[in-house]
């Protein structure tokens, strides 16, 4: 058989070799760190035999698939440790996630920090035992009998939902066996560092109607040094938590009167308005027109858009004049009504319509998280209506805009192409056309991308942009979704060169994603120390004595006239105290005004990052500050 490797080299082997056998042939060093395989795009166990010509990628901890296999095995180690400590515990599910793993468990005993420490120690014992993970399969009826004998009622439910002719896979390590599709690493001994991070409540299968389970989160690594680095990053992340900094910097708050509905304070509104102003200027430059559509629209509209059938559980409803209405969870149907309000010629296309639209989506209370996960947020939506031959150029235009926006804040990012989900609308032909168009645009731009199978929107495939912040964490923000379905459902058309009606193609896209979430990301990325152009207060002017107050008033008037956001601090406090307080408030520049400065008409300048910059003429300082603001220096 011929095996094509990641570098496109081709090796020939006899049929029946495993991924591990091939790794050993390539390099003993590679075999030592190999965790799983990717055969023809599917992640597999490293002991999986290959019996035909295949593309093979050997996965290590540096690869996402390798990490997932490592952390999936770690979740089994966690479950085994829990069963040793609490034999009466019932196990639900334990997947790998983006940063580690968790396991959902039913047990009457509430897990305490001491319990987590004891479970962690037991996990390290299991690691030391170096137990081999062995896969076996059973027909559905035998599998049901097996888990019933184990007393694992949640596993019984999972298997019962599978078709009768299913073959069910399990993994065994020592005395412990778990229902699992895999893949897993060879043995528990590869795990060198373990840390259980927290316990949270989680409803079985995510439904409030089901029992609340205990979810233990953990992280593991193949090297102890990696765990140390990760825990250091977590400590830094705690300091940067946007909820903590939001309170301390008086940017926003979340109140009991509206869980998941954030309140923006004056300083938070400065940041928000600056982002929206920048958005409007850039969109105007790129040929977009801005609209505003209603928050509440009737049931018929949401049936037509498909949201009533595909998104109802996330929506809020009301009745007006005995008719059903819904609060909009997305802006797109409103844009389509605006487009349809008058007839269009092919000569007008593409038509680019943008909206900073407030949307509402129902989130479970346990999922709410500061500004990252809220129940109402503003999406910087835009919808582009175009001719089929304009698709690629329009997608490339959006990609260029996204790049400009993210570069402004110093973000690196990676791209994922998400394909058709199971619950989707439209024909396979339309989906293939749409997916190919997105792929071609990415390839023409020379952008590396990852395929995210089955994660598209219900009406079309999409490109997602994942930002990387200064701690290396990623956040999904921008998206480009190509849609052949909504124009059909809303009967949108244009008059072509032949005088006949034709259906436009539509792009849905956001760049910030959610303004609220983007602000949260910025708070954590900059640790609240925003660049000068984005800082709610750009300069604080502080007096040493009351004799400085009149001069400070003149300075503040000049700042106001120049649209510089300044605050004065003329309290009867020591200057050292005022400076420390301004540093805590993360103000970029501080001006200290004493008798000498009043006499000379100068200002003593301190920088948030560079400390004392010496004495300057006020005009010199203003010119320096305005240059930073205009250039949007990071």
User: Catalytic positions, please?
Assistant: 332, 361, 379, 381, 383, 462, 508
Q: What angle do CA 181, 185, 187 make, to 5 degrees?
A: 120
- In angstroms, rounded to a whole number, what is the distance separating the alpha carbons of residues 126 and 533? 54
CA distances from 362 to 208, 293, 376, 515 (A): 13, 20, 8, 18
- In angstroms, rounded to a whole number, what is the distance separating the alpha carbons of residues 89 and 104? 10
Cα torsion through 108, 109, 110, 111, rounded to 10: -130
Q: What tokens does 570 get?
A: 């003329």
CA distances from 519 to 36, 240, 245, 262, 513 (A): 38, 13, 12, 12, 11
- In angstroms, rounded to a whole number, what is the distance separating the alpha carbons of residues 480 and 482? 7
User: Are 315 and 307 a contacting pair, CB within 8 Å?
Assistant: yes
- In angstroms, rounded to a whole number, what is the distance separating the alpha carbons of residues 521 and 525? 6
Q: What angle do CA 498, 502, 505 make, to 5 degrees?
A: 130
Maximum CA pair distance of the chain? Answer: 93
- In angstroms, rounded to a whole number, what is the distance separating the alpha carbons of residues 384 and 472? 33
User: Given phi > 0 = left and psi -120 to 50 = alpha, else beta, which region is 202?
Assistant: beta
Sheet of strand 134-139: strand arrangement: 134-139, 167-173, 176-179
- In angstroms, rounded to a whole number, what is the distance separating the alpha carbons of residues 104 and 90? 9
Q: What angle do CA 206, 210, 212 make, to 5 degrees?
A: 80
- In angstroms, rounded to a whole number, what is the distance separating the alpha carbons of residues 403 and 630? 20
Q: What tokens does 512 get?
A: 């910030």
Sheet of strand 316-320: strand arrangement: 296-298, 323-327, 316-320
User: Are 511 and 380 a contacting pair, CB within 8 Å?
Assistant: yes
């Amino acid at each position: 058989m011929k095996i094509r490797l990641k570098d496109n080299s081709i090796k020939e082997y006899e049929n029946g070799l495993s991924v591990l056998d091939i790794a050993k042939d390539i390099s003993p060093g590679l075999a030592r760190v190999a965790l799983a395989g990717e055969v023809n795009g599917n992640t597999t166990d490293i002991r999986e035999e290959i019996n035909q010509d295949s593309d093979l990628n050997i996965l290590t901890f540096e690869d996402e698939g390798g990490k997932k296999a490592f952390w999936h095995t770690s979740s089994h180690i966690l479950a085994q440790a829990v069963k040793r400590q609490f034999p009466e515990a019932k196990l639900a599910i334990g997947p790998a996630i983006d940063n580690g793993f968790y396991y959902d468990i039913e047990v009457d005993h509430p897990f305490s920090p001491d319990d987590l420490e004891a479970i962690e120690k037991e996990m390290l014992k299991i690691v030391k035992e170096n137990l081999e993970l062995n896969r076996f399969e059973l027909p559905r009826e035998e599998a049901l009998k097996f888990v019933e004998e184990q007393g694992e009622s949640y596993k019984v439910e999972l298997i019962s939902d599978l078709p009768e002719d299913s073959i069910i896979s399990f993994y065994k390590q020592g005395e412990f066996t778990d229902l699992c599709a895999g893949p897993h690493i060879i043995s528990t001994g590869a795990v060198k560092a373990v840390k259980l991070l927290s316990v949270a409540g989680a409803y079985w299968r995510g439904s409030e109607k089901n029992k609340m389970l205990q979810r233990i989160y953990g992280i593991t690594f193949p090297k102890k040094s990696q765990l140390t680095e990760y825990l250091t990053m977590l400590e830094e992340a705690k300091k940067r938590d946007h909820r903590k900094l939001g309170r301390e910097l008086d940017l926003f708050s979340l109140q009991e009167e509206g869980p998941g509905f954030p309140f923006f304070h004056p300083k938070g509104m400065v940041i928000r308005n600056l982002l929206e102003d920048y958005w409007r200027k850039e969109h105007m430059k790129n040929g977009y027109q801005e609209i505003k559509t209603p928050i509440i629209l009737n049931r018929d509209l949401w049936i037509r858009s498909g949201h009533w059938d595909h998104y109802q559980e996330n929506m809020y409803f009301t009745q007006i004049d005995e008719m059903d209405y819904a609060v909009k969870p997305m802006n797109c149907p409103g844009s389509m009504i605006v487009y349809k309000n008058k007839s269009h010629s092919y000569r007008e296309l593409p038509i680019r319509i943008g909206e900073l639209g407030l949307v509402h989506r129902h989130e479970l209370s346990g999922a709410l998280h500061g500004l990252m996960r809220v129940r109402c947020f503003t999406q910087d939506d835009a919808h582009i209506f175009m001719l089929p031959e304009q698709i690629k150029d329009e997608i490339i235009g959006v990609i260029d805009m996204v790049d400009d926006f993210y570069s402004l804040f110093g973000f690196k990012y990676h791209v994922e192409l998400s394909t058709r989900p199971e619950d989707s609308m439209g024909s396979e032909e339309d989906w293939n056309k749409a997916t190919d168009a997105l792929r071609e645009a990415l390839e023409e731009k020379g952008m590396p991308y990852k395929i995210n199978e089955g994660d598209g929107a219900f009406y079309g495939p999409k490109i997602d942009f994942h930002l990387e912040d200064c701690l290396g964490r990623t956040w999904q923000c921008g998206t480009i979704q190509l849609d052949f379905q909504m124009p059909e459902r809303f009967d949108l058309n244009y008059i072509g060169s032949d005088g006949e009606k034709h259906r436009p193609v539509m792009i849905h896209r956001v760049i910030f994603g959610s303004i609220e979430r983007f602000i949260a990301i910025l708070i954590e990325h900059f640790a609240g120390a925003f660049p000068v152009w984005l800082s709610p207060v750009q300069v604080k002017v502080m007096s040493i004595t009351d004799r400085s107050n009149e001069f400070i008033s003149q300075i503040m008037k000049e700042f106001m006239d120049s649209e510089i956001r300044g605050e004065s601090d003329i309290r009867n406090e020591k200057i050292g105290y005022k400076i420390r307080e301004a540093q805590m408030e993360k103000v970029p520049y501080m001006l200290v005004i004493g008798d000498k400065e009043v006499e000379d008409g100068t200002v003593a300048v301190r920088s948030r990052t560079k400390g004392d910059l010496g004495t300057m003429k006020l005009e010199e300082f203003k010119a320096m500050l305005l240059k930073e603001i205009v250039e949007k220096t990071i």
